[in-house]
């Protein structure tokens, strides 16, 4: 049971990283902010270059 | 685990791998089950990962778990973040897996299932995985530097310049080719076109939802987007039956091509949060889910492969693309075996997330194995179709004729019986007006995937839904590549133009954004237009061009890797990158030469131009052929230059005329070591 929980937790963490939810959480923590439209707009501004320059393979 | 037990298990896996490969390679006359391909792949990958990648990790690269990675030393909470290895694995896989490993094997199936399968297995284990792994590790040891920067530092300025030019050229060709795949999949298909068109407002809605309603809840928004896309698939079915609305979405290839170029331009020029990011999330969500679903479908259905192991087209007269197995099978399948583009990702985001050096093996080598398995599944999807159907779908009108009668008669004359009625009922079953001349690989893959899905879930009644789900999945993939690729290309162009006139380099200056976006979208749009106007279907000439470009980039990456291995004082192990490098040089140089100068007009660009000129053909098509020949020649010369400069560097270091020094970041002990202690 513990193993299954661990696998599910890792899978969720993987999805959160792929979908940038973790990046947003780190941004909130770093800037000591609470989630809000303004905070997310700030995150998107800071993260825009990273996101837009990320290559995707064919 | 006791050593004896472990050795026994690995011996059994190796025996099973041999048996499975022998079955798919030596079986003649009888059809085999697709599971043999899956078993062969899993066993070969397991042996390759356990033994070959471990050898490279220990002997060649000497991975050091005590050495701090840039994610630890330069951690900034933004791009440098020490991350769990499974999370990085998923992240890396999501970035390297695109439509390439799906489309390439489908096209290469014209030779039969055997050449593609063997190349995917051997190419991945000995070439592609090695490239991704070593480039990832070398980037980790250089503070996450890009391939271009590493090429400049280790091979010199020529290396850096060629890599930059190769990357941007390949990106332009790639975008033109994949856009053509979408156009061919959607032409005269109101259902498909409506569904894909709807993904744009869905992505915009997701962007607004994420920004204003539920900030940062990306998974939630992606699930919502997925539900809406599924609704769009059912909506598309309804629309295709309402003539007055269906006519709006029944478009020919030229109209679709213009719309796709306009979309690419808009996606590059609009703010990231509005279209690019939500679409990327939606595409990734669908991609991961569908690949998993396909794997389950193949295992559940265990379909029979109807395609023979080798077809008559190994003689180079194939209808989908002309040319012999060597070199064209190895050019057509790039991403599932070895892809230079992966080197950009292995030296892009991923090295900045690696927590420990030792994890590069699982992420670099392992994720490429997973991608290779996707290519095997695509081979299965193409080869479960009756060969007659496969060739009728994939052959261009210029080869088999534009009418159903002509096409079926021609395909049947090749020894692959098919009749017009069979094709008509299949088209009806998948909700299309026709499936003839649907070149590009995507429709054939979608039919194969729908066949597998509908037989495992829902039966024939839902085949049309599965077909359009597959088309939506591929088109979504490709449009994501188009918008992200156009944007990355725009940034690269702005970086370069900024050296000429500073304001052009400013990524926030709108005139520069519009100008460079138009330049990139116009460049790949030209190749797309060229493909649309080509009577041979475009894919015939453009896909090999893309394959050559991509493999040439892999040649550059392997040159960089070999140079670094020699400079590390590990010259006796340089064969790990040198062997795939020599193979790629043989393949790409032969293919490039043949594409330029072969006397057969279906292979050689110049021969085709001469044929057209002699028959008073269209001047634009003649110009396109000559342009393709020039592009191939320029790429070839550039890579030959990198090869030459690299070889000179190797000789100088090996002969002792130059000190063997690498430009790695200084060693710092990882804090994880202290934490563990």
DSSP B498-566: TTTSGGGG-TT-HHHHHHHHHHHHHHHHHHHHHHHH-TT-SHHHHHHHHHHHHHHHHHHHHHHHHHHHH
Using left for φ > 0, alpha for ψ between -120 and 50, and beta otherwise, residue B30 falls in: beta
Q: Is residue A44 part of a domain?
A: yes
Average pLDDT over residues B616-632: 89
Angle at B522 between CA B634 and CA B347, to 5 degrees: 60
Question: Could you report the per-residue pLDDT of B229-281, keeping only the tens digit for each?
Answer: 999 999 999 999 999 999 999 999 999 999 999 998 888 878 777 887 788 88
Q: Is residue A32 part of a domain?
A: yes
Minimal CA separation from B520 to chain A, in Å:
15
Residue B289 confidence class, pLDDT cut points 50, 70, 90: confident
Whether residue A27 and residue B86 make contact (CB cut-off 8 A), yes or no, is: no
Whether residue A10 and residue B87 make contact (CB cut-off 8 A), yes or no, is: yes
d(CA B559, CA B647): 9
- Provide the 8-state DSSP code for B68: B
Would you tell me which residues 449-488 of chain B have a C-beta closer than 8 angstroms to some C-beta of chain A?
480-481, 484-485, 487-488
Nearest by CB: A18 against B94, B98, B217:
B94
With beta carbons under 8 A apart, name residues in chain B contacting A51: 272, 276-277, 280
d(CA A21, CA B115): 42
Nearest by CB: B98 against A19, A22, A58:
A58
| Burial tier of B510 (Cβ tally within 10 Å: 0-12, 13-18, 19+) | exposed
| Burial tier of B490 (Cβ tally within 10 Å: 0-12, 13-18, 19+) | buried
Choosing among A10, A11, A37, A57, which should be mutated to test the B contact, i.e. which has the most B CBs within 10 A? A57
Is residue B178 within 8 angstroms of chain A, CB to CB? yes
Would you state the pLDDT for residue B523? 92
Q: Where are the alpha helices (DSSP H) in B384-441?
A: 387-394, 397-400, 404-413, 420-429
Q: Is residue A57 part of a domain?
A: no
Whether residue A52 and residue B491 make contact (CB cut-off 8 A), yes or no, is: yes
Residue B460 confidence class, pLDDT cut points 50, 70, 90: confident
Q: Which of B21-25, B380-384, B485-489 has the lowest mean pLDDT?
A: B485-489
Q: Where are the alpha helices (DSSP H) in B100-156?
A: 100-108, 113-123, 129-140, 147-155
Of A55 and B20, which is predicted with more confidence? B20
Count of CB atoms situated within 10 Å of the CB of B304 = 13
Nearest by CB: B341 against A48, A52, A57:
A57
With beta carbons under 8 A apart, name residues in chain B contacting A34: none
Q: What's the token pair of residue B363?
A: 């992420």
d(CA B317, CA B149): 42
Residues B284, B98: contact at Cβ < 8 Å? no
d(CA B197, CA B19): 47
Note if the bond before B528 is cis, omega within 30 degrees.
Answer: no
| Statement: residue B296 has pLDDT above 80 | yes
A·B CB contacts under 8 A = 135
Residues B406, B129: contact at Cβ < 8 Å? no
Residue with tokens 């744009």: B200
Would you state the pLDDT for residue B677? 66
d(CA B330, CA B583): 10
Residues 6+ apart with CB under 8 A from B677: none
Average pLDDT over residues B359-363: 97
Over B578-622, what HEC string results?
A: HHHHHHHHHHHHHHHHHHHHCCCCCCCHHHHHHHHHHCCCCHHHH
d(CA B664, CA B557): 17
Q: What's the token pair of residue B116?
A: 């593609």
Question: Could you report the per-residue pLDDT of B392-402, keeping only the tens digit for each?
Answer: 999 999 899 98
Is residue B215 within 8 angstroms of chain A, CB to CB? yes
Residue with tokens 């989630």: A35
Of B366 and A49, which is predicted with more confidence? B366
SS3 of B257, please?
helix
Question: Could you report the per-residue pLDDT of B555-569, keeping only the tens digit for each?
Answer: 999 999 999 999 999
Is residue B267 within 8 angstroms of chain A, CB to CB? no
| Burial tier of B656 (Cβ tally within 10 Å: 0-12, 13-18, 19+) | exposed
Q: Is residue A58 part of a domain?
A: no
Q: What's the token pair of residue B590?
A: 């032969």
Residues A13, B83: contact at Cβ < 8 Å? no
Q: Is residue A35 part of a domain?
A: yes
Of B283 and B538, which is predicted with more confidence? B283
Q: Which of B375-379, B505-509, B616-620 has the lowest mean pLDDT?
A: B505-509
d(CA B435, CA B443): 8
| Statement: residue B511 has pLDDT above 80 | yes
Closest alpha carbon to B221 in B287, B290, B285: B285
Residues B531, B542: contact at Cβ < 8 Å? yes
Maximum Cα interatomic distance, chain A, rounded to a whole number of Å: 41
Q: Is residue A31 part of a domain?
A: yes
SS3 of B665, please?
coil
**Facing residues of B33 across strands?**
B304
With beta carbons under 8 A apart, name residues in chain B contacting A57: 95-98, 100, 335, 339, 341-342, 344-345
In chain A, the number of structural domains is: 1
Residue B60 confidence class, pLDDT cut points 50, 70, 90: very high
Whether residue A20 and residue B218 make contact (CB cut-off 8 A), yes or no, is: yes
Q: How far is CA B600 from the centre of its chain?
A: 28
Minimal CA separation from B83 to chain A, in Å:
9
Domain range for residue A11?
Answer: 2-52
- Provide the 8-state DSSP code for B634: H
Mean pLDDT of chain B: 91
d(CA B276, CA B206): 11
Residues A48, B78: contact at Cβ < 8 Å? no
SS3 of B437, please?
coil
Would you state the pLDDT for residue B672? 79
Closest alpha carbon to B465 in B200, B182, B240, B223: B240
| Burial tier of A24 (Cβ tally within 10 Å: 0-12, 13-18, 19+) | buried
Using CA coordinates, name the residue in chain B closest to A36: B215
Residues B549, B169: contact at Cβ < 8 Å? yes
Residue A18 confidence class, pLDDT cut points 50, 70, 90: confident
| Statement: residue A48 has pLDDT above 80 | no
Would you tell me which residues 135-174 of chain B have a C-beta closer than 8 angstroms to some C-beta of chain A?
174
| Statement: residue A52 has pLDDT above 80 | no
Whether residue B488 and residue A37 make contact (CB cut-off 8 A), yes or no, is: no
Closest alpha carbon to B360 in B94, B130, B676, B166: B130
| Statement: residue B368 has pLDDT above 70 | yes
Residues B381, B99: contact at Cβ < 8 Å? no
| Statement: residue B496 has pLDDT above 90 | no
Residues B76, B70: contact at Cβ < 8 Å? no
Q: Is residue A46 part of a domain?
A: yes
Closest alpha carbon to B542 in B459, B440, B436, B664: B440
d(CA A13, CA B86): 9
Using CA coordinates, name the residue in chain B closest to A25: B216
| Burial tier of A3 (Cβ tally within 10 Å: 0-12, 13-18, 19+) | exposed
Q: Is residue A16 part of a domain?
A: yes
Q: How far is CA B312 from the centre of its chain?
A: 27
| Statement: residue B78 has pLDDT above 80 | no
Residues B425, B265: contact at Cβ < 8 Å? no
* Domains assigned to chain B: 3-188+251-591+627-654 (1.20.1740.10)
Question: Could you report the per-residue pLDDT of B303-355, keeping only the tens digit for each?
Answer: 999 999 999 999 999 999 999 999 999 999 998 999 988 998 899 889 999 99
Q: At what angle do helices A2-18 and B85-96 cross, to 10 degrees?
A: 50
């Amino acid at each position: 049971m513990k193993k299954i929980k661990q696998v599910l937790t890792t899978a969720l963490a993987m999805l959160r990283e792929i979908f940038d939810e973790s990046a947003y959480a780190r941004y909130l923590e770093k800037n000591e902010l609470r989630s809000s439209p303004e905070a997310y707009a700030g995150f998107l501004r800071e993260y825009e270059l990273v996101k837009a320059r990320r290559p995707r393979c064919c | 685990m006791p050593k004896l037990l472990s050795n026994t298990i690995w011996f059994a896996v190796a025996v099973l791998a041999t048996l499975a490969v022998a079955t798919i390679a030596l079986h003649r006359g009888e059809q085999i089950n697709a599971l043999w391909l899956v078993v062969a792949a899993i066993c070969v990958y397991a042996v390759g990962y356990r033994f070959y990648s471990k050898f490279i990790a220990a002997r060649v690269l000497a991975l050091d778990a005590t050495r701090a990675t840039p994610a630890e030393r330069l951690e900034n909470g933004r791009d440098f973040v020490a991350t769990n290895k499974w999370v990085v694995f998923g992240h890396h896989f999501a970035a390297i897996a695109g439509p390439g490993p799906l489309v390439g094997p489908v096209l290469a199936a014209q030779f039969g299932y055997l050449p593609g399968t063997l190349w995917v297995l051997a190419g991945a284990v000995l070439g592609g995985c090695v490239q991704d792994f070593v480039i990832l590790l070398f980037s980790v040891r250089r503070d996450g530097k890009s391939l271009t920067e590493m090429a400049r530092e280790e091979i010199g300025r020529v290396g850096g310049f060629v890599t930059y030019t190769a990357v941007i050229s390949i990106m332009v060709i790639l975008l033109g080719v994949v856009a053509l795949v979408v156009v061919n999949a959607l032409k005269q298909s109101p259902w498909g076109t409506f569904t894909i068109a709807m993904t744009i407002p869905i992505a915009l809605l997701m962007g607004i939802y994420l920004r204003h309603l539920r900030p940062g809840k990306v998974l939630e928004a992606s699930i919502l987007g997925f539900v809406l896309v599924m609704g769009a698939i059912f909506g598309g079915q309804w629309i295709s039956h309402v003539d007055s609305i269906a006519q709006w979405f029944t478009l020919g290839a030229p109209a679709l091509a213009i719309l796709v170029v306009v979309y690419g331009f808009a996606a590059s020029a609009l703010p990231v949060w509005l279209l690019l990011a939500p679409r990327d999330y939606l595409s990734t969500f669908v991609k991961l889910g569908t690949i998993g679903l396909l794997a389950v479908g193949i295992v559940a259905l265990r379909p029979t492969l109807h395609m023979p192991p080798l077809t008559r087209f190994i003689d180079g007269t194939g209808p989908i693309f002309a040319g012999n197995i060597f070199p064209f099978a190895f050019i057509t399948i790039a991403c599932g075996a070895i892809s230079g583009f992966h080197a950009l990702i292995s030296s892009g985001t991923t090295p900045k997330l690696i927590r420990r050096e030792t994890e590069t093996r699982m992420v670099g080598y392992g994720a490429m194995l997973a991608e290779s398995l996707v290519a095997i599944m695509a081979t299965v999807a193409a080869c479960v179709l009756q060969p007659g159907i496969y060739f009728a779908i994939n052959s261009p009108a210029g080869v088999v004729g534009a009418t159903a009668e002509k096409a079926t008669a021609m395909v049947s004359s090749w020894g692959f019986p098919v009749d017009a009625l069979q094709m008509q009922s299949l088209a009806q079953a998948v909700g299309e007006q026709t499936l003839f001349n649907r070149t590009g690989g995507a429709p054939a893959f979608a039919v194969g995937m729908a066949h597998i899905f509908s037989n495992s879930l829902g039966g024939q009644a839902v085949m049309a839904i599965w077909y359009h789900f597959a088309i939506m999945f591929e088109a979504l993939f490709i449009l994501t590549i188009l918008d992200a690729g156009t944007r990355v290309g725009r940034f690269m162009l702005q970086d370069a133009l900024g050296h000429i006139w500073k304001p052009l380099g400013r990524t926030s200056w709108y005139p520069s954004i519009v100008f460079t976006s138009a330049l990139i979208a116009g460049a790949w749009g030209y190749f797309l237009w060229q493909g649309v106007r080509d009577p041979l279907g475009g894919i015939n000439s453009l896909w090999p061009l893309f394959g050559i470009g991509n493999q040439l980039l892999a040649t550059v990456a392997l040159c960089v890797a070999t140079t670094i291995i020699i400079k590390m004082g590990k010259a006796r192990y340089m064969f790990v990158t040198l062997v795939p490098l020599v193979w790629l040089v043989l393949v790409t140089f032969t293919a490039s030469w043949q594409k330029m100068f072969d006397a057969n007009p279906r292979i050689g660009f110049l021969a085709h131009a001469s044929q057209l000129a002699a028959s008073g053909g269209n001047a634009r098509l003649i110009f396109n052929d000559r342009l393709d020949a020039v592009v191939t020649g320029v790429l070839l010369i550039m890579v030959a230059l990198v090869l030459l400069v690299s070889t000179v560097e190797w000789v100088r270091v090996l002969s002792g005329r130059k000190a063997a020094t690498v430009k790695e970041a200084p060693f710092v002990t990882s804090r994880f070591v202290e934490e563990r202690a």
